Amino acid sequence: MDEKKSLMQRFKDLSKPKKLQLVMASLLTLVLVIGIPVYAWFSYSSNIETLAKIKAPTTLDIKSGHAYSIEYLDLSDIDASDVDENGVGSKDYIFAVKAGSSISSYDIQIAHTTNIPFTYELYRASELGEGNNPPPGTVATFVYHNEQTEESISYYYGYASNSSDSEDSVAVPGSSKLELTDLNPDGDTFGRILGKKNDASGIYSEKTGYSGADDPQLYAVPLYSQHTGIKTWNPAADYFILRLKWNTKNDNTAFAKWNAAENNKETDMIYISAKASAGSG
């Protein structure tokens, strides 16, 4: 017959004291199951804890066009022979600074070695939405092509003045060029007159090979320049155009060591760094 019925029957068949015992045993088991956590609570409550938040450090990310990862910032493909009638050539690259909402303004510093006689200029740019026309006052547009995603995104610059707090608030055409303030010692701001000055001669080392940490090859010593107090327009990404310019004519007599740009020159290293402006944390 049915198993349940027989169990019930068996329970009924038990004598009264045995029934009582069974019920008590079941209840005690239940009490134990519930009671153990209660006891644990008691025996550990001489322990206390308090929770505090850790503030995240303010960070600035440098990214490539359209705020893609920095690995897509490719500074290659420069043809030094591609110049105008004055022998002047230039090439633009876009990069982004992601400042986040906690940083209201920041500084951009650019450092570069001087193997190739490039000059560097920095412009603020804005992304041009698809199908939109650049606003009046635009100096130039620039198309960034991401090799990985096969995307082409347009940027324009020369529209708003950098002093404005947001890219939309000021419709006055102005130069968006960010003047780079020279940070180099001894006023050696241009060209390739660099490196550690020789104490005896007062000029930089012109050795072509590496001859020790304190005596680097002169073109390997970077030049520094920066623009401070750049206001955060968009916490997700502010865009900048880095313009490399060169001159193929060796006609600038102002610099004793200036050489004309050629395609058979070697590599330069360019460092772009961003840091929250003092007091803007």
Partner 1 sequence: MTGKTKNAQPQLTKEQKDKRRKALIKLGSITVLTALVLLFATIAWFTMNKETGTSGMGVKVKGKSFDLITLSDDQDNKNGAFYSPYHEAIQRGETEGYGIWLVDGSSNINNYSSSGSSESSLGIEPGSSGTITFYIKPYSDVTIDFTFQTIGYISGTETVEGHQRTTMTELSASEGDPACFLNGHILLFEHHDTFYSGLIPADGNGRRVLRKTFEVGGNYDADTNGDNRNDAYRVDIHWVWPETLDTLVYNANATDAVMICDRNAASAQGGNDYQQVVNHICSYPQFFLKGLPSGTSYTEAQIKGKNAMYNDADQDIGMNVEYVLLRLSTDTSSGD
Residues composing the chain: 281
Rule CB under 8 A: which of 59-118 touch partner 1? Answer: 59
Q: Which stretch binds partner 1 (CB under 8 A): 4-12, 127-135, 206-214, 263-271?
A: 4-12
Provide the b/e sequence for 2-30 (b: ≥16 CB within 10 Å): eeeeeeeeeeeeeeeeeeeeeeeeeeeee
Q: Which stretch binds partner 1 (CB under 8 A): 52-60, 193-201, 207-215, 270-278?
A: 52-60
* Residue 56 is a binding residue for partner 1 (CB under 8 A): yes
Q: How far is the CB of 46 from partner 1 (least distance, A)?
A: 5
Q: How far is the C-alpha of 203 from the C-alpha of 80, rounded, in Å?
A: 29
Cβ neighbour number for residue 266 with a 10 Å cutoff: 8
DSSP class of residue 168? T
Q: Are 93 and 242 in contact (CB under 8 A)?
A: yes
For partner 1, how many residues bind (rule: CB under 8 A)?
32
For 166, half-sphere exposure in the C-beta direction (CA atoms, 13 angstrom radius) is 4
- What are the CA-CA distances from residue 62 to residues 34, 41, 167, 176, 251 (Å)? 57, 50, 19, 19, 36
Q: How far is the CB of 47 from partner 1 (least distance, A)?
A: 4
Residue 101 burial (10 A CB sphere; 0-12, 13-18, 19+): exposed
Q: Which stretch binds partner 1 (CB under 8 A): 2-10, 103-111, 157-165, 197-205?
A: 2-10
Give 23 or 183: the residue with its C-beta nearer to partner 1.
23
Q: How far is the CB of 30 from partner 1 (least distance, A)?
A: 6
Rule CB under 8 A: which of 9-28 touch partner 1? Answer: 9, 12-13, 15, 27
213-252 mask for partner 1 (x: CB under 8 A)?
----------------------------------------
- What are the CA-CA distances from residue 263 to residues 49, 105, 243, 257 (Å)? 66, 38, 18, 18
Give 106 or 239: the residue with its C-beta nearer to partner 1.
106
Residues 6+ positions from 254 with CB-CB distance below 8 Å: 190
Give 13 or 179: the residue with its C-beta nearer to partner 1.
13
Give 59 or 189: the residue with its C-beta nearer to partner 1.
59
Give 25 or 143: the residue with its C-beta nearer to partner 1.
25
Q: Nearest 5°: phi and psi at 71?
A: -65, -20
125-164 mask for partner 1 (x: CB under 8 A)?
----------------------------------------
Given 51, 172, 213, 256, the residue binding partner 1 (CB under 8 A): 51
- What are the CA-CA distances from residue 126 to residues 74, 148, 155, 176 (Å)? 19, 22, 5, 10
Given 3, 17, 44, 202, the residue binding partner 1 (CB under 8 A): 44
Binding site for partner 1 (CB under 8 A): 1, 6, 8-9, 12-13, 15, 27, 30-31, 34-35, 37-38, 40-41, 43-57, 59
